[in-house]
Amino acid sequence: MAVTDGPLVLGIETSCDETGVGIVRGHTLLADAVASSVEEHARFGGVVPEVASRAHLEAMVPTIERACETAGIKLYEVDAVAVTSGPGLAGALLVGVAAAKALALGLGKPLYGVNHLASHVAVDQLEHGPLPEPCVAMLVSGGHSSLLKVSDVTTGVEPLGATIDDAAGEAFDKVARLLGLPFPGGPHVDRAARSGSSVAIDFPRGLTSGRDLERHRFDFSFSGLKTAVARWVEARERSGEPVPVADVAASFQEAVCDVLTRKAVDAAVRHGIDDILIGGGVAANSRLRVLAEERAAAKGIRVRVPRPGLCTDNGAMVAALGSELVARGRRPSALDLPADSSLPVTTVVV
C-alpha cells in the first residue's frame, strides 16, 4: 500500500549510543534503522562518549542508506530533515546535527533541530494515531526521568518534575551490576524479576514521604534506592548467604515502578488530564506497563505506551516530531543550529 498522506520526513537521532535514522510519512512509519554501539560500551558498564561519537560517524551514511532502502524511497523525495539537537552527549549530538545539515543542504530542504524529549512523546502517534493533547508524559530512560505536561507537542511542553539525582534507567544499570547482570541493566533486571517476589524486600520509595511531597510532588530520586539495594546485597554477602538475585531484582523493580506510576497518575489527576503517555527505554519494562495501566484505570485515565522498539532512542521518533512540525506549519531551524547538550525541555525546536 502506498502511503501518500502527509509530509515525508527523515529523522536523525544521535544523542547517546544509538545512531538512529527514521523515515515517516505523516503518522506512518516507513523505516526505523538503528545502529547501536552498545556492545562496545558493555564492558565499560556505561556509555563512553568518545566511543559513541566515533561509532556515529562510521554508522551515519550506511544507516541513512538502509533507512531509505527499507522505506522504498529516494533521498530527493524527502520533504524535510529533522535531527535531535539536544539534550544528550555533546560530541554525539554534533555528529547527527552535522549530518542533518549536510542532508538539508544537499537536498535543498528545511531542517528542524528538535528536542529529544518531545520526540519521545511524538513517536507514539506512529503507533496509536494523533496524540492526546493535553497529556501527561512520563519519560524514563538511562538519561532522563521526567514528568511533562504536553498541551501541544510542537510548542507547549511544560516540565512538572524530574529526577533530582539518578535517572531511572541508570538505577537499573547500577543494580544490574551489583547483581552481576549484564549492561544495559533494564531488560536483564526485568527478566530476573519474573521469577522473584516483588514484596520480598521492602526497598525505599524516594520522595514519597509527606514532607518530600510538599517540595517534590512530581520529582524522582533513585539514588537512595540504589544505595539501599547495595547495602542489602553487601549484608547478605558478609553473612555468607547467597544473594537471592530474582527477589532483589523484583523488589527493586517494584520500588521504581511504584514511585513512577504513583506520581504519573497523581500528576494527571492534579492537572485534570485524562491521558498518560509513557516513553523512553524504561517504558519497555513489563512491570511498569502493567502497574501504570492498573493504577490509571482506577482513576479513569488512559495510558499509551509505544511498543518497546519505539520507546528506546531511535530516528523514527525524531521524524515523527518533524512531521508534526511540518504539518502544523512551524518555522524550521537555521543552518547554524547548535547541538545543545542541556537543551531545556520547553524548547521543542531550536
Partner 1 sequence: MLLAFDTATPAVTVALFDGERVVAERTMVDAMRHGELLAPEIAAVLDEAGLVRQDLTALAVGVGPGPFTGLRVGLVTARTLASVLEIPVYGVCTLDVLAAAAVDDGTVAGPFHVATDARRKEVYWASYDAEGRRLDGPEVVKPATVATDGPVVGRGALLYPDAFPDARGPEHPSAAVLARVVADERAELLDPEPLYLRRPDIAEPHKPKRVS
- Annotated binding-site positions for Fe cation: 116, 120, 313
Nearest Cα residue to 84 out of 327, 320, 331: 320
Out of 69, 72, 106, 290, name the contact with partner 1 by CB under 8 A.
106
42 binds partner 1 (CB under 8 A): no
35 binds partner 1 (CB under 8 A): no
Min separation Cβ 88 and Zn ion, Å: 8
For residues 336 and 12, give the distance between their C-alpha atoms in angstroms, rounded to a whole number. 17
Min separation Cβ 134 and partner 1, Å: 34
In terms of Cβ atoms closer than 10 Å to its own Cβ (0-12, 13-18, 19+), residue 265 is buried
The helix (run of H) or strand (run of E) holding residue 96 is: helix 90-107
Interface positions with Zn ion (CB under 5 A): 141, 313
Min separation Cβ 155 and partner 1, Å: 24
Identify residues 79-98 at the interface with partner 1 (CB under 8 A).
Answer: 90-91, 94-95, 97-98
Out of 1, 2, 298, 335, name the contact with partner 1 by CB under 8 A.
335
Decide if 111 contacts 101 (C-beta within 8 A).
yes
Q: From the list Zn ion, partner 1, none, pick the one residue 141 interacts with, judged by a Cβ distance below 5 to 8 Å according to partner type.
A: Zn ion
121 binds partner 1 (CB under 8 A): no
Closer by beta carbon to partner 1, 51 or else 200: 51
Closer by beta carbon to partner 1, 50 or else 202: 50
Q: From the list Zn ion, partner 1, none, pick the one residue 313 interacts with, judged by a Cβ distance below 5 to 8 Å according to partner type.
A: Zn ion
Distance of CA 38 to the CA centre of its chain: 16
- Write the DSSP symbol of residue 240: T
Closer by beta carbon to Zn ion, 7 or else 20: 20
HSE-CB at 114 with a 13 A cutoff on CA atoms is 39
Q: Is the dihedral of CA 320, 312, 74, 71 positive or negative?
A: negative
Decide if 17 contacts 184 (C-beta within 8 A).
no
Decide if 299 contacts 265 (C-beta within 8 A).
yes
243 binds partner 1 (CB under 8 A): no
Nearest Cα residue to 222 out of 192, 278, 260, 262: 260
Q: From the list partner 1, Zn ion, none, pick the one residue 224 interacts with, judged by a Cβ distance below 5 to 8 Å according to partner type.
A: none
Cell output for 64: 541513512
Cell output for 201: 524486600
Out of 128, 191, 194, 231, name the contact with partner 1 by CB under 8 A.
231
234 binds partner 1 (CB under 8 A): yes
- Give the chain's radius of gyration (CA, Å): 20
Q: From the list partner 1, Zn ion, none, pick the one residue 227 interacts with, judged by a Cβ distance below 5 to 8 Å according to partner type.
A: partner 1
Q: Is the dihedral of CA 16, 21, 23, 29 positive or negative?
A: negative
Q: Which residues bind partner 1 (CB under 8 A)?
A: 43-46, 48, 50-51, 53-54, 56-57, 60-61, 64-65, 75, 90-91, 94-95, 97-99, 101-108, 174, 177-178, 227, 230-231, 234-235, 334-339
